[in-house]
Structure 1
Amino acid sequence: LEPDDRQPGWRTRRYLARYDLASGLLQRLTYGYRDAYVHDISADGRELLFGVNKQDITRRPFTRTSIYRMDMETLKVDTLLTDEGFISRCLFSPDGSRLLVVGSGDAFGGVGLAIKEGQKSSYYDNQLFLYDLASRKATPLTKDFDPSVAAVDWSAADGSVYFMAYARDCISLFRLRLPSGSIDRMNIPEEVVKTFSLSASAPVMAFYGESASNASRLYTVNLKNDKTTLREDLNPEILDGVQLGECQAWNFRNSRGDIICGRFYLPPHFDASRKYPLIVNYYGGCTPIERTFEGRYPLHAYAALGYVVYVVEPSGAIGFGQEFSARHVNGWGDYTADDIIEGTRRFCEEHPFVDVSKIGCIGASYGGFMTQYLQT
């Protein structure tokens, strides 16, 4: 039993099964009292990569993952990783000889860590590792790469790894070339990529994304020459008759010497001679408030109601390097609150159109905790 056993549905268990479309037969593949999850299927369809998690509330990160490879013809299972902490996803290489592993820097004994002595890493800050199935050795691929890895795929067409990553307040697309390990940021026309997909056999990618002041657009990319082609644009319909205020970047250097990233939104028909109330918005769950247009917290809509909206990306946010994100761990708001308060004061000093007697703050999840913390 575990503390979460009181939660509804906690005892529900998930197993893996194979469904034969021709016969309609369902064959169960995994058993036991722990959930099993699919990570990947090999390119030839012969092998299944799956994981089983177990809880351990006595030590960080409190969840341990074992990774298995199943031969789909013989159903023989090979154990690849046992009780490994800090990993979230594994993918087969196109030839099936290696795994691409997503996890925090602490994975595989901490070979991917890039933090200061005395810090504990944020396991929201995802890194990439290459795991060789023959030697059972892991190599960090993004140890000195500041952005935090999100979605990832390995192209069979050109052998490169493509991935989305939180890069400051953007979510960008990157290409990792193997075996060199070099990483380059792809030149795409959107600030926030929402998802992408690679062709199974051709050097082509499809993705859709948006930016701070435009809605979603769908594109394809020729990966041979990186030419991007717009396929669908929802903006003429979504923004028909809508007038937006300006969104401008505004960064500052804090008292510790860090450049703290931010931006602000102005109301439509903004008049610099007037005074406007200010909303200060900051991260929830250690993830930056990315430069997205659509979402649960519509910053342009707040501005349209007559507010200036200041978005600050304080210490502890991922996307700025492991040392920066590690400040969140066991900080309980200290570094984060310092940056929010200092940023707000500096913003008001440099922007006289803000009514300093009317300042509010908003954040969700950990940002909700920060809102309560700032009030006390």
Structure 2
Amino acid sequence: MGNKQKKIKERRKKELSKSEKIEKALEQEKEFQKQEIKFLLLGTGESGKSTFIKQLELIYKTGFDNEKRELYRRTIQKNLILHTKHLIHGTEILGTKIKNETKKLTKGFLEIDETKPLTLELSERISKIWEDNGIKKVFRSRSTLQIPDSASYYLNDIKRIMKVKYQPTDKDILYCRIPTTGIVKVQFKVNDFVWTIVDVGGQRSERRKWIHQFDDVSVLIYVVALSEYDQKLYEDETINRMHESLETFDNTANNSYFLRTSCILIFNKMDLFEEKIQKVDPRTCFRDYRGGLNAEKAKKFVSEKFKNLGQNKKRKVKMFFTTATITRNMTKIFNRMEQFIIQESSKKL
């Protein structure tokens, strides 16, 4: 009889212990949910969303490990071949003259398999092609040819990139673009909060996946490449990129899921925008713009168009202007974002 009661007591003790563990786990989960902020990071292709994520890794995590750096090393060297192909193709499209020596170097280049390792011999060939003034002229017309702005960054530094012990720097990685496909979910500890960032591809084919990420979103972040007002979509060269971005933001921000969701607009690529506006009038994109080649007027004009689409009686839209590849800029942005989020959260208590 005594043994039976003893066994019953031990079983109850185990059950109580198990129950306490479950309750503790539920409390921890509840506490985590209080501190967790779920962001949905959106924007059209090449707006700079991936750079946004990389900066969070640099500032709030340990940065990039050797495995990631090796991945970026291979991507950067592959992109050097692709960039050169685009530039050579650009000379044909624009009818740009290049030196006879350069023509010899470009012969058969378009057939090169960029998935294979970049050899020293091929890198020297690329370097000589890049030196041609005609090739440089094509690069200056890159907005009409789907050539990335970062191409010159790598082509100018190809000798460093081709060193045997080359390992990409943080800056190299920030400039390197690997298009987001599918859904990327990452978490960062930011002071007293856990930021859960859901990043989905910005290309048209990827946007249909956005709808599945709307549940429990605390903040909508929409990234706009301010410099792309004179560029066309990669997928459809009849559509202006800024027009597409405005339409996409309108459809997203005014979706029934987001009408009460805090909204942050990040206007990226300010450096390229300020460089471009010295030569290209925003009227190429907006017929109602009258500010001329004035960066401040153009910045205000474009940002107000986005703000007016997203702001309503139930929520305000917070705007930031930055160059996402500059870490010190993004550190300030993240600090100000956190302040905004705390203010918005306190209103809902």
What TM-score do the two structures reach when normalised by structure 1? 0.25
Larger RCO, structure (CA 8 Å, separation 6 or more): 2
Structure (1/2) with the larger strand percentage: 1
Over alpha carbons, which structure has the higher Rg? 2
What TM-score do the two structures reach when normalised by structure 2? 0.27
